[in-house]
Amino acid sequence: MIDFIAHNLPLVMFSSVMLMLLLGYPVAFTLAAGGLLYFVIGVELSAISPEIRLFWPLLQSHPERIYGIMYNDTLLAIPFFTFMGIILERSRMAEDLLDTIGQLFGPVRGGLAYAVILVGALLGATTGVVAASVMAMGLISLPIMMRYGYQRPLVAGTIAASGTLAQIVPPSLVLIVMADQLGRSVGDMYVGALYPALMIVGAYCLYIFAISMVKPQWAPALPMEARTLGNGVTSLGVMLLVSIALYYLGMHVLFTTIGSPEWQLVTAMAFAVGTAYAVALINSRIEKKIISRLAEQVIIVLVPPLALIFLVLGTIFLGIATPTEGGAMGATGALLLALGKGRLNFGIVKNALEATTKLSAFVMMILIGARVFGLTFYGINGNVWIEELLLALPGGDYGFLIVVTIIVFILGCFLDFFEIAFIMVPLLAPVAEAHGIDLVWFGIILSINLQTSFLTPPFGFSLFFLRSIAPASPWLDKVTKKTMPAMKTTEIYKGVFPYIVIQFVMILVVIFFPGLVMHYKAETPAANPADFQIEIPGFGGQNNSGPNFGLPPIGGQEGSGGAGGGNAPNLGLPPLGLGGGQQAPNSAAPVTPPTLGLPPLDLGGQQPEPQPAKPAAPQIGLPPLQGLPGQPPAQTEQPAADQQPAQPDLSQPPPINP
């Protein structure tokens, strides 16, 4: 009986902590408290059941695990990108973007809707935060779209869905966190997400196009009087052609002396775009116009943020910068842009910093809470339990993927992204890897899946944000002086439905055509010496070191501590010199990212090479298993030796006995 309870304790723990979350207390502290509560239960049970092995000294690994979160270089990208997005939003550059693109597409049927989708993708690329983009776009475009007679569910659905594009379009925070939790490089994740993201944006636009054909009255063009920038698309086209010509000139004639092809590309692009921008600026100052006002405005408004986005993403894709550096450069660039537009003041910087600080604090505390939860959950063999469950599924790889898709979708309906990423992903990743599924591909399926669940009634987050800013009672439109009816919640639900269908189709497309993601392997810049250099200080490198997802510090430290000392009492003292110990693997790890121990996978995840011993792998993290009855030490040590080749000799802390 006791054994039965002990064996199923992970189920009890997982479901009861999920229920505790529903109490509405901050997630970070609920997870931590749940972890600690079950730690006590686990320790008590381990005295009477051989199924569970938890001991008090294990608690002492917590500070070191938090320290592990601190020096994680990948997570450092979170505040950088958030800060960049908030600065762009607060300096009203996002608003200008939506206005101008709306004017550009305005004369086309459904033009405003296209503008919302495109800006959603671009904003996503700057903020990566669903809430910010739904609210920013909703506040600006919802009244305009309703004023010009768009069908109301269509308005709601388009805004809510476009807001979620922030999840999947690089440099989304979701992809950063996903990469961190899966132990893959953020650059690979971005490259892999690129085509699926573009396809989703394209599919949204196609839907709007179809609507504007079938039901033209649902998505009318802007009336003449609303086209404030006038016509002049021709000169915009001319400017575009000129820029392209300049780019080729730069690439093949002017800058051929530049050594590296990446820098040549960047310089040529900067040259072309810079010239166009200069022309537009000059045009705005002089009397006699060279180009139309529309072209001028579009160039002036679009170029700076676009240049920033391409600078950041481009340098990351080309392997010139790590995502963290890209984020820092992007944030600095956003500050400079806002300064250049004369919209930067002390208040904006201060508010943006505070907002970023609060976001960082709550995200990182959830991660800390999830680590506390994770220590116990792994200690009571929760990972083994999940693996048994998921590996027993019928249907092989696809069965697994489909079940996981459904589980994550359901969880996503009531959990926020960070909780899922920090709790579920570390549990699912080893199983996916055991199935021979490429983890980048897996991460992108999960990301699209989460994006979908944020759209799904009744609890989709995007819908909540939209609801919070959509007029709930009849309102007076200032321009037309007409009273407009309120937006009904059912209209929002109705409007997102087609987008949910699109999302599901996209998930299936990505599942059945892994090539959409897998091309990252061909163009991965990970072998670039730049990456090697930057990882020397070694933050986050340890995430690359093995399948001990979500528990890197444990895997790194105690795994090695255990391998060295081989006995639990050593844990009585947090091993000294761990700072060194953890970083040691990194001297080897940066070399590995290109391969990451994953066999190249073509379709559907066949795996030509044997995986490292799968069931044992997750146990690396739990040294107390060693030397205990029924648990041959070899089992824990073997994967450590497999996957962290550099570790045993480099990272052994000298056993310090209290």
As a whole number of angstroms, the distance between CA 307 and CA 312 comes to 8
State the nearest-atom distance from the C-beta of 229 to another protein, in Å. 29
Mark the segment that binds another protein (CB under 8 A) among 277-285, 382-390, 413-421, 445-453.
Answer: 413-421
Q: State which of residues 221, 359, 440, 455 lies at the interface with another protein (CB under 8 A).
A: 359
The token duo for 203 is 């599919």
Residues 17 and 10 sit within 8 Å (Cβ to Cβ): no
Site for another protein in 447-486 (CB under 8 A): 459, 461, 464-465, 468
- In whole angstroms, how far apart are CA 597 and each of 374, 436, 584, 601? 24, 11, 19, 12
Confirm or reject binding of residue 420 to another protein (CB under 8 A): no
Write the binding mask 510 to 539 for another protein: x where contact by CB under 8 A, - elsewhere.
--------------------x--xx-xxxx
State the nearest-atom distance from the C-beta of 130 to another protein, in Å. 8
Confirm or reject binding of residue 354 to another protein (CB under 8 A): yes
Closer residue to another protein in complex, CB, 426/540: 540
Give one DSSP letter per residue of 603-619, joined into a string: STT--SSPPS-TTTGGG
Site for another protein in 561-590 (CB under 8 A): 573-574, 576-577, 579-580, 583-584
Closer residue to another protein in complex, CB, 235/264: 264
The token duo for 507 is 């998930």
Confirm or reject binding of residue 356 to another protein (CB under 8 A): yes
Per rule CB under 8 A, count of chain residues that contact another protein: 87
Closer residue to another protein in complex, CB, 135/551: 135
Confirm or reject binding of residue 421 to another protein (CB under 8 A): no
Site for another protein in 100-139 (CB under 8 A): 129-132, 134-135
Closer residue to another protein in complex, CB, 259/630: 259
As a whole number of angstroms, the distance between CA 201 and CA 206 comes to 9
Nearest one of 219, 147, 229, 224 to 479, comparing CA atoms: 147
Site for another protein in 301-320 (CB under 8 A): 320
Instruction: For the chain, count helices (H), then strands (E).
Output: 31, 2
3-state secondary structure 247-298: HHHHHHHHCCCCCCHHHHHHHHHHHHHHHHHHHHHHHHHCCCCCCCHHHHHH
Angle at 379 between CA 609 and CA 654, to 5 degrees: 80
Confirm or reject binding of residue 601 to another protein (CB under 8 A): no
Nearest one of 493, 492, 478, 470 to 147, comparing CA atoms: 478
State the nearest-atom distance from the C-beta of 575 to another protein, in Å. 10
State the nearest-atom distance from the C-beta of 311 to another protein, in Å. 12
As a whole number of angstroms, the distance between CA 563 and CA 641 comes to 9
Q: State which of residues 372, 431, 444, 487 lies at the interface with another protein (CB under 8 A).
A: 372
Q: Cis before residue 654, ω within 30 degrees of 0?
A: no
Residue for token pair 């196009």: 209
The token duo for 385 is 């339990």
State the nearest-atom distance from the C-beta of 208 to another protein, in Å. 25
Q: State which of residues 228, 231, 234, 351 lies at the interface with another protein (CB under 8 A).
A: 351
SS3 150: coil
Closer residue to another protein in complex, CB, 338/506: 338
Closer residue to another protein in complex, CB, 280/415: 415
Q: Between 489-512 and 152-168, two packed helices, what is the crossing angle to 10 degrees? A: 40
As a whole number of angstroms, the distance between CA 316 and CA 304 comes to 18
State the nearest-atom distance from the C-beta of 68 to another protein, in Å. 11
Nearest one of 24, 367, 373 to 176, comparing CA atoms: 367
SS3 483: strand
The token duo for 504 is 């599901």
Write the binding mask 9 to 38 for another protein: x where contact by CB under 8 A, - elsewhere.
------------xxxxxxxxxx-xx--x--
State the nearest-atom distance from the C-beta of 408 to another protein, in Å. 16
State the nearest-atom distance from the C-beta of 22 to another protein, in Å. 5
Site for another protein in 32-91 (CB under 8 A): 32-33, 36, 59-60, 62-64, 66-67, 70-73, 75-76, 79-80, 83
Mark the segment that binds another protein (CB under 8 A) among 217-225, 249-257, 414-422, 480-488.
Answer: 414-422
Confirm or reject binding of residue 325 to another protein (CB under 8 A): yes
Write the binding mask 373 to 412 for another protein: x where contact by CB under 8 A, - elsewhere.
----------------------------------------
